[in-house]
Amino acid sequence: MHENYVGFIGLGAMGEPMARNLIKAGVPLVVCDLDPIKCQIFETLGARIVQTPAEVARHAKTIICLVETTAQTRSVITGPSGIMDIASAGHYVSCMSTIAPKEVQRLAEELESRGVGFVDAPISGGTEGASAGTLTIFAAGSQKSLSVFEHVFSIVGSNVFELGDAGQGTAAKLINNMLFQVNTVAVAEALTLAAAAGIAPQMLYDMVKVSTGYSVAFEMRAPRMIARNFEPGGKIDISYKDQELQTSMAKELGVPILLAPITQQIYQMGSNLGHGREDGSAVIKVYEAMGKHD
């Protein structure tokens, strides 16, 4: 085992640029991903490639898990050939995926019962922030576990918020995503309505940018919608998944929410139209498809 190795599981749209930044900063990585092409690329960058999460734990005491779904996270950590096959006292795992808060709490309990430190640390900032190393990290866990990841977090992010127990980081991330994903649908509606009213999209953008309707979602999504750039940053299917988690969390806590469940249907429509793997800004296509046709 290389004492300085950091394990990285999941080289997706967010994980790949984050792992690249760690390598650029001189952090020795051992990586695992289902995509053999990505693994080959990282091998040329100097990373050690292994085939299973268990092998990651065999080589690295500090491990990042960044996969898409709750089921995938559970499989990586506790499934066959998972991290827990090898991990013991002295290992530390940070789950940076956006999954169900209750599942995060269960994973934390299972790992900590084995003496394995756990940090709940989902991220915000999109692929642009991942590439630039300016992500926001919602970190929750013990001070000891948080301190282990301090250097790694300082490389991949520029804002680290320390919350309380595991699950609170994910809850905070879901609330943030709810605001962004609901707002994205409003941006799509605004641009579609403007076009129908004869207002040029760029003109609307220029006006809103200096008016009260402006927001981060407008700044990130409107230019993509105008330029028809739907290369995935945060995919429609991921937004749908997140909103399912938001709604479930609200139900568990007894809090009524209206906008997340409603706008989730727009993401569902986008996926059904074949745009699920496109950027969330592609929800504008739903409104275009439903628009009045002369």
The reported pLDDT for the residue numbered 292 is: 64
Per-residue pLDDT reduced to its tens digit, 2-15: 568 999 999 998 99
Strands in the chain per DSSP E: 6-9, 29-32, 48-49, 62-65, 92-95, 117-120, 123-124, 135-141, 157-162
Rounded CA separation 26/104 (Å): 30
Confidence of residue 234 (pLDDT cuts 50, 70, 90): confident
The answer to whether the beta carbons of residues 128 and 114 sit under 8 Å apart is no
State the pTM of this model: 0.90
Per-residue pLDDT reduced to its tens digit, 177-211: 999 999 999 999 999 999 999 999 999 999 999 99
Q: Is the pLDDT of residue 101 over 90?
A: yes
Is 24 in the active site?
no
CATH code assigned to 171-290: 1.10.1040.10
Q: Annotated catalytic residue: which of 24, 102, 144, 173?
A: 173
Q: Which class does domain 6-164 fall in?
A: alpha beta
Mean pLDDT along residues 157-181: 95
Mean pLDDT along residues 80-98: 95
Rounded CA separation 205/224 (Å): 11
The reported pLDDT for the residue numbered 2 is: 54
Rounded CA separation 213/276 (Å): 27
CA 289 to chain centre: 28
Sequence spans of domains, the chain: 6-164, 171-290
